[in-house]
Amino acid sequence: MSEQADYDVAIIGYGPTGVTAANLLGQRGLRVVVLERDADIYGRARAISTDEEVMRIWQSAGLSDALQRDMLPGGMVAFVDADGRPFVEVQPVSRGAGHPPQQFIYQPAVDMTLREGVSRFANVTVLTGHECLKVVPAGECAQVLAADLADDTFVRLTAQYVIAADGGSSGTRGQLGVGYQGRTYTERWVVIDTKVLSDWPGSSRLRFHCDPQRPTVDCPTPLGHHRWEFPVRDGEDEKYLVTHEAIWEMLRGQNITPDNVEILRSVVYSHHVRVADRWRVGRVFLAGDAAHAMPPWIGQGMASGVRDVANLCWKLAGVIAGELPDAALDSYQTEREPHVRETTKHAVFTGRMITERRPVVAAIRNHVMRLLARAPATRRWLVDNNWIPDAHYEAGLLAPDEHRARGWQLPQPIVATGDGDEQLLDDVLAGRWCVLAVTGVEHEQWAEAGVPTIRVVPRGARPTKEAVVDISGELTAWLTDRAVGAAVIRPDGFIYAAAEAGRPLPTPPATITPLKGSAHAR
């Protein structure tokens, strides 16, 4: 066996979850090693969309602009009947995260850009073609044994912590004896990736064909691709359904011809609803599909994994730097699991609406939804209550003092800074603890702890080194609506504590020392 240097964090798996973690940890200067079984990027497009909160995370890694170049902004989402007539059309609405609310992606291109981002960091070692064989989570550091698949040798690594982002069939989760509760749907789905040769009516829209005979997802993806998904019906041969003959039979039913697309690849897969019993075992953390799996209906499988590591990585960096106690890492599952479960419920609800097989029930659905959709409030309800839940933590690494804003993610408008620039708010906050103040609120103890204060002033006021101008008024309105005179912002943009005007902020706990390097390098 060849002995390797110790690392701060070892990451198992180099899909979107693992590569995002590598960027976030590398950016904070940690010594990171990545183990990935495959020698190259997985060529099949799996995830097909992302949202503004995920783009905000990739922005914090300095990659949102590069990723944006290969994305396709989403528009109206249509639920159509068996004849192709819409019975509900909804438009995803921005929640103020500073990016488009929905964008279509081609995952191999996203993976490539994220991996190129990791190459910026000499402190991150990437070992592709290495399969993790064993993880020992206990002791002063975690022990990791991996096989180099190219030359049949073994590598033994040590790391303070391990992130297992090795997918739904996670070998690490199995080794640790962690249960993966839930269900796998018996119905299997065919996924078809195509190259667009010429456009057709509706080719730029995401459509859910809610046909009881053959529900189908019809989705544009960037870089000249288009994707379809449809279920395997009882008695059908999966091997036949992935042949060009079967695929063209389905596509011609939607008036798609060989003049429109070229079939690139097709595969059959299953939908899962599962959550791991524990997301932490000693020094090892499960993330992404290794921790949870959900149906793809609202495009949140990949997004949930990215959110996982955005929650976890700054805490790992804080613990390793001595800013946070190890117990702070227990808040990872406490904060993330409720949002994952709620998102999964939304995905299941949407899937049931799309895949209703009883013709009579489907006809009633179509009629009722058409009537309700005439009211803008109904369309808004579908987006707000049955799409992606707002980012919010009820419990976790938060001040004990109750406040309406505590645990919510701060919106991200463009603000004017003292040097004359206009920037997205997160670029000003720079991934560090800070106090955001609107009115005079006592926060001397946070200042004594070395936490900087940034004042928010209205449009027309003069920006300074310590004050930013809320150009649109969006941030001020959000804070005013929640009676925030000042708030303590965590490095991930969530509100740790808040106070009304004239009331002091809760004091910093003795276990948190935010000054020791909480701002990450850019």
Q: What is the pLDDT of residue 443?
A: 77
Token pair for 323: 């800013």
Q: Are 182 and 242 in contact (CB under 8 A)?
A: no
- Asked whether residue 358 is domain-assigned, the answer is no
Question: Which CATH number belongs to the domain containing residue 437 in this structure?
Answer: 3.40.30
Clarify whether residues 408 and 325 are in a common domain. Answer: no
- Asked whether residue 283 is domain-assigned, the answer is yes
Clarify whether residues 289 and 155 are in a common domain. Answer: yes
Clarify whether residues 309 and 418 are in a common domain. Answer: no
Q: What is the pLDDT of residue 55?
A: 97
Number of domains in the chain: 2
Q: Cα–Cα distance between 510 and 448 in angstroms, integer?
A: 13
Clarify whether residues 169 and 287 are in a common domain. Answer: yes
Q: Are 129 and 38 in contact (CB under 8 A)?
A: yes
Question: Which CATH number belongs to the domain containing residue 142 in this structure?
Answer: 3.50.50.60
Q: Tell me the β-bridge partners of 77.
A: 90, 206
Last residue of some domain: 350, 380, 415?
Answer: 350
- Asked whether residue 330 is domain-assigned, the answer is yes
- Asked whether residue 466 is domain-assigned, the answer is yes
Q: Counting runs of H as helices and runs of E as strands, what totals does the chain give?
A: 14, 27
Q: What is the pLDDT of residue 42?
A: 78
Burial of 259 (0-12, 13-18, 19+ CB in 10 A): exposed
For 230, other C-beta atoms within 10 Å of its C-beta total 21
- Asked whether residue 279 is domain-assigned, the answer is yes
- Cα torsion for 487, 485, 447, 518, to the nearest 10°? 20
Which secondary structure element, helix H or strand E, spans residue 458, and what is its range? strand 453-458
Clarify whether residues 298 and 169 are in a common domain. Answer: yes
Clarify whether residues 460 and 325 are in a common domain. Answer: no
Clarify whether residues 511 and 454 are in a common domain. Answer: yes
Q: Cα–Cα distance between 386 and 389 in angstroms, integer?
A: 8
Clarify whether residues 309 and 434 are in a common domain. Answer: no
374: amino acid identity, one letter: R
Q: What is the pLDDT of residue 160?
A: 95
476: amino acid identity, one letter: T
- Asked whether residue 221 is domain-assigned, the answer is no
244: amino acid identity, one letter: H
- Asked whether residue 203 is domain-assigned, the answer is no
Which secondary structure element, helix H or strand E, spans residue 157, and what is its range? strand 153-164
Clarify whether residues 438 and 494 are in a common domain. Answer: yes
Q: Cα–Cα distance between 410 and 413 in angstroms, integer?
A: 10
Single pTM value for the model = 0.94
Domain span at residue 413 reads: 398-522
Clarify whether residues 28 and 161 are in a common domain. Answer: yes
Q: What is the pLDDT of residue 379?
A: 66
Last residue of some domain: 315, 335, 350?
Answer: 350
Last residue of some domain: 321, 350, 379?
Answer: 350
Clarify whether residues 408 and 345 are in a common domain. Answer: no
pLDDT along the chain (522 residues), means of 10: 70 97 97 95 81 96 96 88 90 88 93 97 97 93 94 93 96 96 89 95 91 93 94 91 94 94 93 96 97 91 96 96 94 97 92 92 93 77 70 94 95 92 95 89 82 91 89 94 95 95 88 61 41
Clarify whether residues 303 and 408 are in a common domain. Answer: no
Closest to 77 measured CA to CA, from 350, 339, 271, 294: 350
Q: Are 468 and 456 in contact (CB under 8 A)?
A: yes
- Asked whether residue 239 is domain-assigned, the answer is no
Vertex 53 angle, CA 48 and 58, to 5°: 80
